[in-house]
Structure formats: C-alpha cells, structure tokens
Amino acid sequence: MNTLMRGCDEESLRLGAQLIKQGGLVAFPTETVYGLGGDGLNPHAVQAIYAAKGRPADNPLIEHIADYGMLELLVQTTPEPARRAMEAFWPGPLTCVLPATARVPRAVTAGLDTVAVRWPEHPVAQALILQAGVPVAAPSANASGRPSPTCAQDVWEDMEGRIPLILDGGPCRVGVESTVVAFSGERPMILRPGGITREALESLLGPVDVHQSALNALQEPSAAPSPGMRHRHYAPKAQVTVVRGPGALERMLAAYDACQAAGGVPWLLISEMARSRCGERRLMSYGEGAAQLAAHLFHSLRLIDAKGATHIYCLAVDPQGMGLAAMNRLLRAADFDVMDPQEEDGR
C-alpha cells in the first residue's frame, strides 16, 4: 500500500475523514501521541487497526469523540464523578472507562462490557472526528510493542506501506498517552497514568486509587483491569535500564563504562542539569523535570536506537505529578530492569 504523508490543511483533513467513513485508516496527531484511527462503529475498520499494528486481539482500543452525542452512542451511563471529570478535563488527555452500549463493536472492547472513551484536545483530531461524523477508535500509531509515536516521522517509521494516510501536525505536546480511569468502584481508579495527573483528579474528585501495575510488573497477568498492561510495551531495540536510589548518577556512569568496556554501545538519557557531570559519554538530554521526560521519552528512545545503541541508561524521577506517567512508561520500556541497591538489600 502506498502511504501518503500530508500536512493538516483542509483538503488533507477532508481526505482523512473520507477514508475513515469508507472504513480506511488514518494516522493523526493528538496532544498525547499520534493515533491510528478508524471508524469506531465499523468492526472491519477496527480489525484493520489491529492488523496494521500487529496488536494482540485482547488489548482494547480507545474511542475518540468530539461531542457529547457521540458519548451517548457509546456508553450506557455516566456516573457523577465521571461526568465531573469530563467537564473539567475534556477536551484533553483523560480516558474514561464506562459501561458500553451494544453499538460498540466487540473488537473495540476486546470482549469487555466496558468501553474507554476520550475527547482529545488537539484541533486536528477534533476536526477529523467531526468531519468523519463517527467516534474514531484509535490506539497509538506505532507497531505493537514499540515506543509510541510523538511526531509524524515516528509514525512513518512503523506504518509506511501499512496505512493510506498520515496527517503531520508536528510534535505532540504531552508525549505520553492519556490517563485511563475506571469509575466502576467506590473510588475512581487510575488504570494507566497519563497526561492528567492523579493530583489534578484528586483536587476535583477527592481520593483516587492508582492500580498497582502503574509502577510494578503484573504478578498475575490474567487479572489486569486494563488489558494493555499485560503486554511488553514502549520498547526500543536497545536494552533500557532505570537507575535509582542513593548515588544513582555515579552508579549509572559506572554501568555505562562497564558496558563500553565489554564492547557494548551504551547511551545515557539524562536531564539537562546532570549532563555536565557525564564527561565525554554519549548522551541525549530530555530537558528538565518529569513533564519534559514524559514529553521526550518515546522520541528519544527511537533516536538513540537509530544511533546503534545496545544499552540505554536513564535515572528514575520522582513518581509525582507527570512523574507517575513518565515512570510507568520508562519502567515498561526497560521491561522493569532497575538498578536500585536499596531494593537489592531488601530481597
């Protein structure tokens, strides 16, 4: 298949909307990451999304909407806390998991009786959904298992030849996916941390739980409340190691040097402030703080891969605010390979 890469002018948007109406797929920018969208009410289009990504069939998709009429098509009821969260954070990087109507194709929910819904903030995403006139089912536009794409070039790398159209809207502002929240229990529960922080949700709704899989490998994969947590995720080709605890920077530099001495090609993914302490070592800076790490993590992993790295070392950040989403993605990219002397003592 020939893949077109176009800007986000009116004509390209029209083409994109038409493709979606016809059951085709379009990669498009959102404020979180690029999505791979298809008609969210058409089971054939939904199947094509799984096929293009090589996505496991048990990992449900998010339905993207651009008005409340579309929400009504998809969900049976909206509990009070969910309604308040929507009013406060939509359009934006918040996904609500709610009871699904019969209109939602089974392939979207992977057989669950709930559906995940989000109203994105990005103007191109909104225009595409409104012009298509249907909810747009869209996972991240990467090949399954790879780091999510945060610019059109990243989408091209994974999807060229597999989909007809990529809309290039420049780099994504947030850089990690939406916060997925379930509203079925006594308290709202974050199933996957993302662009809306726990703190922001709590200031609106009171206490909000975070599923233990946010920062830990799943003990019992079959019990995952958000099925996407079961699978290897966000992984570059190089082996990623997260370094934390006392003396983390020194230990990271020692690990780098040992890797180099053993014939590997190590790289550091490092904050701007720490950069000057790394000498002549190969490194990429993500900027400063957790929000910048989140914004630049996926693209940095892809860039470092392209340099031929065998190992990537990155310091942990505090899992507060955007740090929770950044650490969730970083730990999964590392397949939970963590250097932490305090944890080793405790074993």
**What residue ranges bind ligand AMP (CB under 6 A)?**
59-62, 97, 109, 112, 114-116, 139-140, 177, 180, 191-192, 226-228
CA-to-CA distance for 75 and 89, rounded, in angstroms? 18
**Which residue has its beta carbon closest to Mg ion?**
140
Nearer to Mg ion among residue 140 and residue 300 (C-beta): 140
Mutual angle of helices 198-205 and 80-89, in 10-degree steps: 120
Residue by residue, what is the 3-state secondary structure of the chain? CCCEEECCCHHHHHHHHHHHHCCCCEEECCCCCCEEEEECCCHHHHHHHHHHHCCCCCCCCEEECCCHHHHHHHECCCCHHHHHHHHHHCCCCEEEEEEECCCCCHHHHCCCCEEEEECCCCHHHHHHHHHHCCCEECCECCCCCCCCCCCHHHHHHHHCCCCCEEECCCCCCCCCCCEEEECCCCCCEEEECCCCCHHHHHHHHCCCEECHHHCCCCCCHHHCCCHHHHCCCCCCCCEEEEECCCCHHHHHHHHHHHHHHCCCCEEEEECCCCHHHCCCCCEEECCCCHHHHHHHHHHHHHHHHHCCCCEEEEECCCCCCCHHHHHHHHHHHCCCCEECHHHHHHC
Nearer to Mg ion among residue 139 and residue 323 (C-beta): 139
**Closest of 117, 150, 341 to residue 243, by C-alpha:** 341
Minimum separation from the CB atom of position 225 to ligand AMP (A): 6
Q: Given candidates 30, 126, 140, 328, which one binds Mg ion under the rule CB under 5 A?
A: 140
Question: CB under 5 A: which stretch of 5-13, 42-50, 135-143, 255-263 binds Mg ion?
Answer: 135-143
**Closest of 22, 314, 12 to residue 169, by C-alpha:** 12
The entry of Mg ion, ligand AMP, none that residue 326 binds, CB within 5 to 8 Å by partner kind: none
The entry of ligand AMP, Mg ion, none that residue 163 binds, CB within 5 to 8 Å by partner kind: none
Minimum separation from the CB atom of position 185 to ligand AMP (A): 13
User: Which of the residues 165 through 184 are near Mg ion (CB under 5 A)?
Assistant: none
Minimum separation from the CB atom of position 335 to Mg ion (A): 16
Query: What sign has the CA pseudo-torsion 124, 126, 128, 131?
Result: negative
**Closest of 27, 11, 30 to residue 158, by C-alpha:** 27
Minimum separation from the CB atom of position 95 to Mg ion (A): 12
The entry of Mg ion, ligand AMP, none that residue 180 binds, CB within 5 to 8 Å by partner kind: ligand AMP
The entry of Mg ion, ligand AMP, none that residue 317 binds, CB within 5 to 8 Å by partner kind: none
**Which residue has its beta carbon closest to ligand AMP?**
228
Nearer to Mg ion among residue 139 and residue 227 (C-beta): 139
Nearer to ligand AMP among residue 137 and residue 293 (C-beta): 137
Nearer to ligand AMP among residue 116 and residue 325 (C-beta): 116
Minimum separation from the CB atom of position 55 to Mg ion (A): 8
Nearer to ligand AMP among residue 194 and residue 289 (C-beta): 194
Nearer to ligand AMP among residue 126 and residue 226 (C-beta): 226
Minimum separation from the CB atom of position 194 to ligand AMP (A): 8
The entry of Mg ion, ligand AMP, none that residue 116 binds, CB within 5 to 8 Å by partner kind: ligand AMP
The entry of Mg ion, ligand AMP, none that residue 236 binds, CB within 5 to 8 Å by partner kind: none
The entry of Mg ion, ligand AMP, none that residue 115 binds, CB within 5 to 8 Å by partner kind: ligand AMP
Minimum separation from the CB atom of position 61 to ligand AMP (A): 6
**Closest of 243, 241, 240, 219 to residue 229, by C-alpha:** 219
The entry of Mg ion, ligand AMP, none that residue 109 binds, CB within 5 to 8 Å by partner kind: ligand AMP
Residues near Mg ion (CB under 5 A)? 139-140
